[in-house]
Amino acid sequence: MRMEIRDIKLNDTKLRALPDRFRSMGDALVRRTAYWIEGKAKTLCIYDTGFLRSSIYTLDSQRGGTPADAARAMARSKLEARGLPGRPFSAPPTPPKALTAYVVVGAEYGAFIEYGTIRSRAYPFLTPAFEAARPEWEEGLRKLWAEVDR
């Protein structure tokens, strides 16, 4: 007996699309978490002139260096508008690739607020924001894997 098998193909389109879909969902989770941390850090940081708060911004795979420059300009203009002197602003890092985001504290003295100095105690704002995002992040990862396994 002879049997011909025709028009049966292994269609791996979905399989090949999986990494991309997974990657884009993962990237969305990373970006969402980063912006959440930015918002939380802004509510937790101590407030004097507002420079520290307004200098916190996020860089992600879809928003590169331009928003950093915009954030820097915005922070400076806010100070200048209130007649306050400009303060040092650290250079923005290189824009991240997919699945990476940076929550940046532009004010150079941000590390001293976060970790304390020899004269004043620490007023942590970034680490607590990061820790507060952990449950949401882990839940997001769990949903992501559930989606991939479907």
Partner 1 sequence: MSDVLSVVDAWVYAELSGDSQLATLVSGRVYEAQAPKGAEYPMVLFHVQATAPDVIAVGTFRIFSEVVLTVRAISAGSGYGGCREIAKRVDEVLHGGRGSTEYGTVLSCYRERPIKLPPESVGDLQYWALGGVYRVIARGG
Q: Residues in the site for partner 1, rule: CB under 8 A?
A: 108, 111-112, 114-122, 124, 127-128, 130-131, 134-135
Q: Considering beta carbons, is residue 31 or 40 the nearer one to partner 1?
A: 40
Q: Considering beta carbons, is residue 35 or 130 the nearer one to partner 1?
A: 130
- Shortest CB 142 distance to partner 1, Å: 15
What is the spatial distance between Cα 30 and Cα 11, in angstroms, rounded to a whole number? Answer: 31
Q: Considering beta carbons, is residue 29 or 113 the nearer one to partner 1?
A: 113
99: left (phi over 0), alpha (psi -120 to 50) or beta: left
Q: Considering beta carbons, is residue 44 or 74 the nearer one to partner 1?
A: 44
Q: Considering beta carbons, is residue 73 or 122 the nearer one to partner 1?
A: 122
- Shortest CB 61 distance to partner 1, Å: 23
- Shortest CB 49 distance to partner 1, Å: 20
Exposed/middle/buried for 71, CB within 10 Å: 0-12, 13-18, 19+? buried
What is the spatial distance between Cα 52 and Cα 129, in angstroms, rounded to a whole number? Answer: 15
Contact 84, 105 (CB under 8 A): no
- Shortest CB 14 distance to partner 1, Å: 37
- Shortest CB 116 distance to partner 1, Å: 6
117: left (phi over 0), alpha (psi -120 to 50) or beta: beta
What is the spatial distance between Cα 104 and Cα 91, in angstroms, rounded to a whole number? Answer: 10
